[in-house]
Amino acid sequence: MTYTTNAWNTGLTANIIIANTTGAAVNGWSLTFTLPSGQTITSGWNATYNPASGQVTARNLSYNAVIPANGSVTIGFQATHTGNTGRPTSFTLNGTTCTIA
Protein backbone atom coordinates (compact mmCIF):
# COMPACT_ATOMS: atom_id res chain seq x y z
CA MET A 1 0.00 0.00 0.00
CA THR A 2 1.20 3.50 -0.74
CA TYR A 3 -0.10 6.79 0.66
CA THR A 4 0.97 10.13 -0.80
CA THR A 5 -0.24 13.63 -0.01
CA ASN A 6 -0.19 17.03 -1.61
CA ALA A 7 -0.74 19.74 1.01
CA TRP A 8 -1.36 23.49 0.85
CA ASN A 9 -2.50 26.19 3.33
CA THR A 10 -5.39 24.42 5.10
CA GLY A 11 -6.07 21.60 2.64
CA LEU A 12 -4.59 18.42 1.27
CA THR A 13 -5.27 15.56 -1.10
CA ALA A 14 -4.31 11.99 -0.35
CA ASN A 15 -3.78 9.29 -2.96
CA ILE A 16 -3.89 5.69 -1.74
CA ILE A 17 -2.93 2.64 -3.78
CA ILE A 18 -4.14 -0.61 -2.25
CA ALA A 19 -2.05 -3.45 -3.66
CA ASN A 20 -3.16 -7.07 -3.40
CA THR A 21 0.09 -9.00 -3.17
CA THR A 22 -1.62 -12.38 -2.77
CA GLY A 23 -2.49 -14.98 -5.36
CA ALA A 24 -6.23 -14.64 -4.72
CA ALA A 25 -8.64 -11.84 -5.57
CA VAL A 26 -10.15 -9.75 -2.77
CA ASN A 27 -13.90 -9.50 -3.35
CA GLY A 28 -15.31 -6.62 -1.31
CA TRP A 29 -12.94 -4.52 0.75
CA SER A 30 -12.80 -1.94 3.51
CA LEU A 31 -9.70 0.03 4.46
CA THR A 32 -9.60 1.39 8.02
CA PHE A 33 -7.23 4.10 9.25
CA THR A 34 -7.14 6.94 11.76
CA LEU A 35 -6.63 10.43 10.39
CA PRO A 36 -4.17 12.64 12.29
CA SER A 37 -5.77 15.19 14.61
CA GLY A 38 -7.12 18.22 12.75
CA GLN A 39 -7.74 16.46 9.41
CA THR A 40 -11.29 16.17 8.07
CA ILE A 41 -12.27 14.58 4.76
CA THR A 42 -14.39 16.88 2.59
CA SER A 43 -14.71 14.69 -0.51
CA GLY A 44 -13.32 11.47 -1.92
CA TRP A 45 -13.04 9.33 -5.01
CA ASN A 46 -13.24 5.60 -5.78
CA ALA A 47 -14.54 4.79 -2.25
CA THR A 48 -17.03 5.90 0.38
CA TYR A 49 -15.49 7.39 3.53
CA ASN A 50 -17.19 7.30 6.92
CA PRO A 51 -16.87 9.16 9.22
CA ALA A 52 -15.03 12.23 7.92
CA SER A 53 -12.47 12.39 10.77
CA GLY A 54 -10.99 10.18 13.45
CA GLN A 55 -11.07 6.47 12.64
CA VAL A 56 -12.22 6.33 9.01
CA THR A 57 -13.35 3.37 6.95
CA ALA A 58 -13.07 3.57 3.16
CA ARG A 59 -15.32 1.03 1.41
CA ASN A 60 -15.32 -0.14 -2.18
CA LEU A 61 -17.80 1.08 -4.75
CA SER A 62 -19.65 -1.31 -7.06
CA TYR A 63 -17.17 -0.86 -9.90
CA ASN A 64 -14.01 -1.56 -7.85
CA ALA A 65 -15.19 -4.18 -5.36
CA VAL A 66 -12.67 -6.75 -6.63
CA ILE A 67 -8.94 -6.25 -6.25
CA PRO A 68 -7.46 -8.90 -8.54
CA ALA A 69 -4.64 -11.18 -7.45
CA ASN A 70 -1.40 -9.20 -7.72
CA GLY A 71 -3.47 -6.16 -8.75
CA SER A 72 -4.35 -2.85 -7.14
CA VAL A 73 -7.02 -0.21 -6.75
CA THR A 74 -6.44 3.53 -6.34
CA ILE A 75 -8.59 5.67 -4.06
CA GLY A 76 -8.20 9.12 -2.58
CA PHE A 77 -9.72 12.05 -0.78
CA GLN A 78 -9.50 15.78 -0.22
CA ALA A 79 -9.34 17.05 3.34
CA THR A 80 -8.94 20.17 5.43
CA HIS A 81 -6.25 20.35 8.11
CA THR A 82 -5.22 22.61 10.97
CA GLY A 83 -1.47 22.30 10.38
CA ASN A 84 -0.93 18.54 10.70
CA THR A 85 -0.50 17.11 7.19
CA GLY A 86 0.93 13.78 8.33
CA ARG A 87 -0.34 10.42 7.20
CA PRO A 88 -2.14 7.82 9.28
CA THR A 89 0.28 5.51 11.10
CA SER A 90 -1.46 2.24 10.23
CA PHE A 91 -4.01 0.79 7.84
CA THR A 92 -6.02 -2.42 7.87
CA LEU A 93 -7.68 -4.02 4.86
CA ASN A 94 -10.60 -6.26 5.82
CA GLY A 95 -9.08 -6.48 9.30
CA THR A 96 -5.54 -7.37 8.17
CA THR A 97 -2.69 -4.92 8.80
CA CYS A 98 -1.23 -3.44 5.60
CA THR A 99 2.43 -2.93 4.85
CA ILE A 100 3.03 0.73 3.92
CA ALA A 101 5.53 1.25 1.11
**60-to-6, 38, 82, 85, 97 alpha-carbon distances in Å:** 23, 25, 28, 25, 17
101 pLDDT more than 90: no
Mean pLDDT, the chain, rounded, equals: 97
Task: Say if domain 2-97 classifies as CATH 2.60.40.290.
Answer: yes
Q: How many CA atoms lie within 13 A of 22 on its CB side?
A: 11
How does pLDDT run across 68-93, given as a tens digit for each residue? Answer: 999 999 999 999 999 999 999 999 99
Q: How many CA atoms lie within 13 A of 7 on its CB side?
A: 14
How does pLDDT run across 49-68, given as a tens digit for each residue? Answer: 999 999 999 999 999 999 99
